[in-house]
Amino acid sequence: MTANALLQILVYCVLLVAVAKPLGSYMARVHEGEAKLAEKVLGPGERAVYRLLRIDPKEEMTWKTYALAVMFFNVAGLLVVYLLQRAQAVLPLNPAGLAAVSPDSSFNSAVSFASNTNWQGYGGETTMSYLTQMLGLSVQNFVSAATGIAVLVALIRGFSRKTTPTLGSFWTDLVRTTLYILLPLSFVGALVLVSQGVVQTFAPYAPVTLLEATKDADGKAITVQVIALGPAASQVIIKQLGTNGGGFFNVNSAHPLENPTPLSNFVEMFSLLMIPAALCYTFGQMVKDTRQGWALLAAMFLVFLPLLWLCVTQEQAGNPALASLPIDQAATALQSGGNMEGKEVRFGITSSALWASATTAASNGSVNSMHDSYTPLGGLVPMWLMQLGEIIFGGVGSGLYGMLMFAIVAVFVAGLMVGRTPEYLGKKIEAYEMKMASLVILIPPALVLIGTAVACVTEAGQKGPSNPSTHGFSEILYAFSSAANNNGSAFAGLGANTPFYNTALGICMWCARYWLIVPTLAIAGSLAKKKLVPRTSGTLPTHTPLFVSMLVAVIIVVGALTFIPALALGPIVEHLVAHGSSS
């Protein structure tokens, strides 16, 4: 690894840790009703929303009512996005005259954006009108992210409250997250991106005369190129802050009008993990023990950094197939070296690999390089980060409540080892909590492996990969890993905009989002009813390096046992074949 790579990674990680406390503390105050300055500025808007929607902000909900509100709201959003796509041809703000989106693609995209997955089987600039992008996709970028944070806040209340059947109000948590956290950050971030050249306009697509004419596949002369435009900056910033990932343009943040400069690249890349990292501190502050939040953040970094190192070093090592050719793949002052296939020269190896690792750790899915062109082990890293359950930072809210499920398993295992009823944050962890936590942990792997198996043995599934053998299998495995963990990135070699993949991946995205939210809220409801258990000398400290190590071990063991056989059939054997053929 080069000195430049180490410096980039160090700056990135140090800034993440630095922002965790102030932003995390602010988010805790928002959900505890103590952000007084923000309430003075934004309070009138919040109260107006409640009056308009006839919501009582002080109404408390049981976990079942909370879960029903989440489902109702998200199904309604899904239907709106679906109808917008189907009717966009006759709706305004469609200067390119784009036709209605097909039913299967509309279903896939609606589920994708409602579930915070943002998987895209289409090219944004050739498929979606400005109205669909703004009113459909951008709105879902806000509210799907707010839904994840709201569910996390409900779970935190389950730990912090005692002998109560309620968890707060979903509608209040949703409105406050959107209004006090996501909108202000997005407004500032969008201005920064616009200053760097990210396009934000309602003007129609711009025809530009080519300096040198060319010909199409039929031999016809081409003298004009049409440059796609649109209100991109406002969608780009929330796709990153909300760990959504859906690009305004087809190539996402590799597009020069979506991510034009090194500064815009860093701002977008930093936004990927900023809120997920800060939510760890939010958790610690809301349970009245900030050490618990720092412990969870430390566990995330302990898993993330070695995998990031593997990705960067594998990409920096270059392509073994080119080793025998007169091609210089070494990093020098004049070139980044390594495997530059599928990467933007203006970003280079480290920034591309760091983005790939962060976006799959964060349940984001946006890209500034093509993961399909990574080396076998370089591509394994983002795949496995997703397969761990999107808990290493993870989606906003969803990543941390997924990590807390692993923490519950870790304290349960520790309790078995010493013959004591397990406790976490003063609440006894019993059979009910373990059953629900097991569902959260096991459902995504089941969806990944079953979906991959079905795709590999059916004719419709086999038509998707553009590459044969092991890499084709990796493309399928990556797609279902992405959908079943609500990530949204892809190995671009898979032709997924087909009825089979649109339907299968849509089902995976739906189940992975809501079959996890319901048991998470069930745990929150169960914990909120319990009394706090007094701490004794036999209580397992859950803020120490020992517990952090145990938590990491549980995460790795579950991930390894579940997916190593599948990874061995794809990227691992591909790596062995590539290096065997080059030796």
> For 239-263, how does the pLDDT look when each residue is reduced to its tens digit (9 = 90+)?
999 999 999 999 999 999 999 999 9
> Rounded to an integer, what distance in angstroms lies between the CA atom of residue 356 and that of residue 343?
11
Backbone CA torsion sign across 188, 190, 193, 194: negative
pLDDT at 230: 95
- C-alpha distance across the termini of the chain, in Å: 23
Q: Which of 362-371, 456-465, 531-540 has the lowest mean pLDDT?
A: 531-540
pLDDT at 337: 86
> Rounded to an integer, what distance in angstroms lies between the CA atom of residue 137 and that of residue 11?
32
- Distances in whole angstroms, Cα of residue 117 to Cα of each of 85, 244, 418, 440, 466: 17, 6, 40, 17, 23
Q: Do residues 23 and 270 make contact, with C-beta atoms less than 8 angstroms apart?
A: no
Q: Do residues 270 and 12 make contact, with C-beta atoms less than 8 angstroms apart?
A: yes
> Rounded to an integer, what distance in angstroms lies between the CA atom of residue 476 and that of residue 485?
14
Q: Residue 221 corresponds to which amino acid?
A: A
Angle between helices 3-31 and 290-317 (to 10 degrees): 150
Mean pLDDT of all residues in 131-140 = 95
* Cβ atoms < 10 Å from Cβ of 446: 15
Q: Which of 320-334, 354-368, 560-574 has the lowest mean pLDDT?
A: 320-334
pLDDT at 448: 96
- Distances in whole angstroms, Cα of residue 350 to Cα of each of 315, 361, 378: 8, 16, 12
- The full DSSP string for 219-244 is S-EEEEEEEP--B-HHHHHHHHHTT-
pLDDT at 447: 96
- What share of the chain in percent tops pLDDT 90? 85
Residue 138: partners with Cβ closer than 8 Å, 6 or more residues away: 234, 235, 238
> Rounded to an integer, what distance in angstroms lies between the CA atom of residue 348 and that of residue 316?
10
> For 399-448, how does the pLDDT look when each residue is reduced to its tens digit (9 = 90+)?
999 999 999 999 999 888 877 778 999 999 999 999 999 999 999 999 99
Stated length of the chain: 583
Q: Do residues 500 and 458 make contact, with C-beta atoms less than 8 angstroms apart?
A: yes
> Rounded to an integer, what distance in angstroms lies between the CA atom of residue 16 and that of residue 23?
10
Q: Residue 487 corresponds to which amino acid?
A: N
- Distances in whole angstroms, Cα of residue 437 to Cα of each of 218, 432, 516, 519: 58, 9, 9, 7
Boundaries of every domain in the chain: 3-211+223-286+302-582
Q: Do residues 521 and 167 make contact, with C-beta atoms less than 8 angstroms apart?
A: yes
Residue 29: partners with Cβ closer than 8 Å, 6 or more residues away: 35
Q: Do residues 175 and 59 make contact, with C-beta atoms less than 8 angstroms apart?
A: no
pLDDT at 62: 97
> Residue 100 burial (CB < 10 Å; 0-12/13-18/19+)?
middle
**3-state SS class at 62:** strand
> For 63-113, how does the pLDDT look when each residue is reduced to its tens digit (9 = 90+)?
999 999 999 999 999 999 999 999 999 999 999 999 999 999 999 999 999
Residue 255: partners with Cβ closer than 8 Å, 6 or more residues away: 247, 248, 249
Mean pLDDT of all residues in 127-152 = 96
> Rounded to an integer, what distance in angstroms lies between the CA atom of residue 171 and that of residue 69?
8
Which DSSP state fits 362? T
pLDDT at 343: 94
Phi, psi at 60, each rounded to 5°: -100, 145
> Residue 159 has which token pair?
């730990």
- Distances in whole angstroms, Cα of residue 462 to Cα of each of 224, 471, 571, 572: 38, 13, 18, 21
> Rounded to an integer, what distance in angstroms lies between the CA atom of residue 230 and that of residue 133?
9
pLDDT at 581: 56
Name the E strands within 167-314: 206-215, 221-227
Task: Give the closest residue to 362 by CA, choosing from 381, 345, 385.
Answer: 385
Q: For residue 547, how many C-alpha atoms fall within 13 Å in the half-sphere facing its CB?
A: 25
Q: Do residues 112 and 149 make contact, with C-beta atoms less than 8 angstroms apart?
A: no
> Rounded to an integer, what distance in angstroms lies between the CA atom of residue 301 and that of residue 403?
13
Q: Residue 543 corresponds to which amino acid?
A: H
**3-state SS class at 210:** strand
> Residue 504 has which token pair?
């299968």
Mean pLDDT of all residues in 362-372 = 93
Task: Give the closest residue to 565 by CA, choosing from 464, 448, 392, 439.
Answer: 448
> For 326-352, how does the pLDDT look when each residue is reduced to its tens digit (9 = 90+)?
888 888 877 888 999 999 999 999 999
Which DSSP state fits 569? I
> Rounded to an integer, what distance in angstroms lies between the CA atom of residue 413 and that of residue 429?
11
Residue 152: partners with Cβ closer than 8 Å, 6 or more residues away: 279, 283, 397, 398, 400, 401
Per-residue pLDDT band at 370 (split at 50, 70, 90): very high
> Rounded to an integer, what distance in angstroms lies between the CA atom of residue 441 and that of residue 361?
16
Average pLDDT over the chain, rounded to whole? 93
Q: Residue 450 corresponds to which amino acid?
A: I
- Distances in whole angstroms, Cα of residue 320 to Cα of each of 324, 571, 581, 583: 8, 15, 8, 9
